[in-house]
C-alpha cells in the first residue's frame, strides 16, 4: 500500500547537526585571534557548561571516550580492577575501561528504559569491583536513586556516561552532578556538537584539578596561565599525562550551541511527542518510556519491535530506506562484538540481547519538518509483512 503523503525530495537522515552563522562567526573570530588551541574560549565554555548543569567544575576534553578514561584514572581504576557497566551502549563505554587496564563487567538492563538495572548490580559486585559506570541511554536518565543506593551500600564511586544526555533531567535537575563524575559527548550525532569533543563535570575540586593537568600532558601550568604571567614561569610534569585537549575553535562552537540548547530540546521533545502519539497504537511497536522522575532529551527516538515484525527488522529498515527514510538498528550490545564476546555474557544478558535485536532508531533532528515526520509516521503505519 502506498502512503498518502508525497515523499520528500531527498533522503531523511537519522540525525543532522544544526550549525548556524553564529557558530561560523565564532570560529572565524578564534582564527583571527591567533589563539586556536586550548585557551580562553575553552575556559569560557567550561564555565558556562558547569553553570548549565548545576555543577561546580567542568573540564573540556577531546571526546567522551577520553573523558571516561580520565574519569576512571582519577578515581584510581587500573589493572586488576572490575567496573560494572551495561553492555547496551556504544563500544567506547567498555573501551575506556580497558584502556585503564581494568575489566568491564556487564550488567543487564531494564527493558523499559534501556538503562542498567540497579537490581543487577549487587549480583555482580566482587572484591575486584572498584566502580559503577552508568549510561544514560538514548538521552533517558537511568534510575539514579536506586543506583546510588547500591553504590553507597558497597562504597563504590559512580561515573555517569552522559554522552547522549545533555539537557536531560532527573528529579528536576540536569544530568551532570549525580555521580562522582559525569562525562558528555559533543560528537555531531549529539544534540550539542563541537564536531568532536567532550566534557567532564564534578563537584570535587581536587578531581577537577587533576583532570585539568592530565588532559594536557600533566603540565603544572596551563597555557593561559603562562601566557598571562607577569614573571618567568616554568612548568613541571609530575606524572604521565595525555594530549586530550579541546581547541578554542571547538569551544567557540560549544558556547553558541549551549545557548541554543534549550531551543533544541524543546523542538526534539515536541517531535518525540508527535511520534509517540501516532505510533503508540501500533500493536507491533513499543514507544519510548518516560518515567515520572525523568525528562529525556530524546537524543534518539528508539522504538522496540514486537512479533511478528521484530523478526523482520531489516526488512522494515529496507522498506523505509526505499522510501527515502534512513533508520539505524538499536543500540549495540558490546558483549557481542569480537573483543568482548563470550557465551557466558550472552547467556547472562537476555534483556540486552532482546533490545539490541529488536530496537529501531527513527529520524529525529532539529531541522526535521512536521511534514517529513508525518511522512515517516504514515510510511511506518502502512508497513505490512
Contact predicate 293/169, CB 8 Å: no
Question: Cα separation of 196 and 61, whole Å?
Answer: 9
Output the pLDDT for position 228: 67
* E strands in the chain: 57-61, 82-86, 103-107, 109-110, 115-116, 129-135, 158-161, 169-170, 173-174, 181-185, 198-202, 285-286, 294-295, 301-305, 328-329, 359-362
Burial 56-71 (b: 16+ CB within 10 A, else e): ebbbbbbbbbbbbbbb
Distance of CA 133 to the CA centre of its chain: 13
DSSP β-ladder status, 158-161 and 181-185 = parallel
Angle of CA points 283, 112, 159, to nearest 5°: 155
Biggest CA–CA distance in the chain, Å, is: 77
DSSP string covering 275-309: HHHHHTT-TTEEPPP--TTEE---SSEEEEE-TTG
Catalytic residue among 41, 189, 190, 313: 190
Task: In whole angstroms, give the CA distance from residue 43 to residue 45.
Answer: 6
| Angle subtended at Cα 136 by Cα 287 and Cα 15, rounded to the nearest 5 degrees | 60
What are the strands of the beta sheet with 359-362, ordered from one edge? Answer: 285-286, 301-305, 359-362, 328-329
Phi-psi region of 176 (alpha: psi -120 to 50; beta: other; left: phi over 0): left
**Alpha helices for 34-167 (secondary structure H):** 40-53, 64-74, 92-99, 118-124, 144-153
Q: For residue 83, what are the β-bridge partners?
A: 104, 131
How deeply is 21 buried, as exposed, middle or buried, from its count of CB atoms within 10 A (0-12, 13-18, 19+)?
A: exposed
Question: Splitting the chain (385 residues) into consecutive groups of 10 residues, what average pLDDT does each group show?
Answer: 68 97 97 94 98 98 98 98 98 98 98 97 97 98 98 98 98 96 97 98 97 94 69 82 96 98 98 98 96 97 98 97 97 97 93 98 97 97 91
pTM value? 0.94
* The predicted structure's pLDDT at residue 7: 78
Return the C-alpha cell found at 100. 585503564
Q: Which residue has the cell 509483512?
A: 385
86 beta partners:
107
CB 208 within 8 A of CB 202: yes
- Residue 235: what pLDDT? 83
Q: What's residue 229's pLDDT? A: 62
Please tell me the total number of residues recorded for the chain in this structure: 385
Assess contact for 309 and 284: CB atoms under 8 A: yes
3-class DSSP state for residue 188?
A: coil
Q: What is the pLDDT of residue 212?
A: 97
Give the residue among 111, 70, 69 at the shortest CA–CA distance from 93: 69
Please tell me the predicted confidence (pLDDT) of residue 220.
82
190 is known as an active-site residue:
yes
Structural domains of the chain sorted by starting position, each given as residue range(s) with its CATH number in brackets:
21-258 (3.40.640.10), 261-381 (3.90.1150.10)
Amino acid at each position: 500500500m502506498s502512503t498518502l503523503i508525497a515523499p520528500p525530495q531527498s533522503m531523511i537522515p537519522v540525525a543532522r547537526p544544526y550549525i548556524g552563522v553564529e557558530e561560523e562567526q565564532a570560529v572565524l573570530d578564534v582564527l583571527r585571534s591567533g589563539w586556536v588551541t586550548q585557551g580562553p574560549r575553552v575556559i569560557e565554555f567550561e564555565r558556562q557548561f558547569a553553570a548549565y548543569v548545576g555543577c561546580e567544575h567542568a573540564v573540556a576534553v577531546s571526546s567522551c571516550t577520553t573523558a571516561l578514561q580520565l574519569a576512571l584514572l582519577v578515581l584510581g581504576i587500573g589493572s586488576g580492577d572490575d567496573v560494572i557497566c551495561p553492555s547496551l551502549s556504544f563500544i567506547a563505554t567498555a573501551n575506556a575501561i580497558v584502556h585503564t587496564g581494568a575489566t568491564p563487567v556487564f550488567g543487564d538492563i531494564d527493558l523499559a528504559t534501556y538503562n542498567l538495572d540497579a537490581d543487577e548490580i549487587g549480583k555482580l559486585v566482587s572484591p575486584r569491583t572498584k566502580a559503577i559506570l552508568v549510561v544514560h541511554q538514548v538521552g533517558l536518565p537511568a534510575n539514579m536513586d536506586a543506583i546510588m543506593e547500591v553504590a553507597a551500600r558497597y562504597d563504590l564511586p559512580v561515573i555517569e556516561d552522559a554522552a547522549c544526555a545533555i539537557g536531560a533531567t532527573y528529579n528536576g535537575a540536569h544530568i551532570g552532578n549525580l555521580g562522582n563524575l559525569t562525562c558528555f559527548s559533543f560528537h555531531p550525532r549529539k544534540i550539542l556538537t563541537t564536531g568532536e569533543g567532550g566534557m567532564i563535570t564534578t563537584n570535587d575540586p581536587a578531581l577537577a584539578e587533576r583532570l585539568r593537568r592530565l588532559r594536557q600532558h600533566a603540565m603544572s601550568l596551563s597555557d593561559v596561565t603562562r601566557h598571562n604571567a607577569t614573571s618567568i614561569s616554568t612548568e613541571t610534569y609530575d606524572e604521565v599525562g595525555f594530549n586530550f585537549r579541546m581547541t578554542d575553535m571547538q569551544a567557540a562552537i560549544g558556547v553558541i550551541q549551549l545557548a541554543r540548547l534549550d531551543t533544541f530540546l524543546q523542538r526534539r521533545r515536541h517531535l518525540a511527542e508527535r511520534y509517540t502519539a501516532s505510533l503508540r497504537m501500533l500493536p507491533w511497536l513499543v514507544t519510548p518510556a518516560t518515567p515520572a522522575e525523568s525528562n529525556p532529551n530524546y537524543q534518539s527516538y528508539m522504538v522496540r519491535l514486537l512479533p511478528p515484525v521484530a523478526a523482520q527488522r531489516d526488512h522494515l529498515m529496507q522498506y523505509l530506506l526505499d522510501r527515502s527514510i534512513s533508520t539505524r538498528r538499536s543500540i549495540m550490545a558490546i558483549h557481542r562484538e569480537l573483543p568482548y564476546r563470550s557465551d557466558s555474557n550472552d547467556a547472562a544478558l537476555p534483556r540486552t540481547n532482546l533490545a539490541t535485536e529488536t530496537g529501531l532508531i527513527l529520524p529525529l533532528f532539529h531541522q526535521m519538518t512536521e511534514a517529513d515526520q508525518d511522512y515517516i509516521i504514515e510510511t511506518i503505519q502502512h508497513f505490512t509483512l
